Structure 1
Amino acid sequence: MSDPRPRPQYGEYATPEEVAALRGVPLETPASTTPPPPTGPPAAPRSASRVAAPAKGWRRLDRPITIALVLFGLVNVIQSAPLFIDFVPTLELAAKSVTYGPVDLSTLEFGEAARVGGYVLFAISIVLLVAAAGFSYLALSRSRVAFWIPLTAGALNLVCYVVVLGVVLYSTPGFLSAI
């Protein structure tokens, strides 16, 4: 029986042996799968030989931005410490400045809840600053992007301020009647 297909040209259907014979070169045998024995000294462990490549582009700015944000958080905690430790007069001064239409908070007297709230805010600020500095150090030492860590700590600190201030205001007698 004859094959109705056209005769192959240029080695379309040729086997590797036929291609090697037509080229006039011997057929290459597949390489051995076993690696050759090492000839030099043993290589250092992977973790010891790993050196971070120099950062390029915006990654170059990650380290200074992260350090600046952590330092900004430190300055913020240091500056707000006196306000939080003596939180009652701070809130009373802020309440006296609030006069919006029928709302008059100047007569409010903040008590024990404001004092405890100030200590809680100060403790939260310190814990978040230490956590942000620690996690930022770990991320930077592992060549990871770290600028988001102090930003997240700052946002969480702001949320805690709002929550604690809300608790202090709503636990103050006369606040609901003043608004």
Structure 2
Amino acid sequence: MDKLKYTCKFNASNKLSDKGELSDATKIRDKEIIRQFITFAMKHRKIMQFYLDETGVYHAQHRLLMEISRNPNASQTDIARSMDVSTATIAVSLKKLEKGGYIKKEMDEGDNRLNQITITDKGNKVVEQSKQIFDSIDRKVFEGFTEAEKISLLALLQKLNSNLIKMEDEIKIKKERT
């Protein structure tokens, strides 16, 4: 709590010095913001994993099962792209989910090269249990927040993510040049 009070005392402006550099206070504040994001992400993942372990599905397979439930007609390639992983990774996880009885793969009637992936009753139970876990954790995470604070936070996070997307694009361009 003392650290939070300390970081909130910084001047809200990001003024540059005569040399075009950020002030030391701004640099410290920026680092503290990033540190808080990292801490939040680690704690959130740890808490989420604790409760999701109760479903009996490992993290990677769980994420895939939830993606299939959101996009029931997606191909393996679409899912891989959406999850930002390789199609080989998806194939391995699908086999594990199928072996566990969470999904069923059947040959697509219109195209024998494609598999139709459906979630079984057992898989749907995990999806529903997971949604309840997500809702419960979300409620607790945002306890004490007003709607206005949530809207402001969302706008700020979207701005940060936009900056990261620009950086990813820069990296892609650099990789293409080499």
TM-score (norm 1): 0.24
Which structure: greater helix fraction?
Answer: 2
TM-score (norm 2): 0.25
RCO higher in structure (CA 8 A, sep ≥6): 1
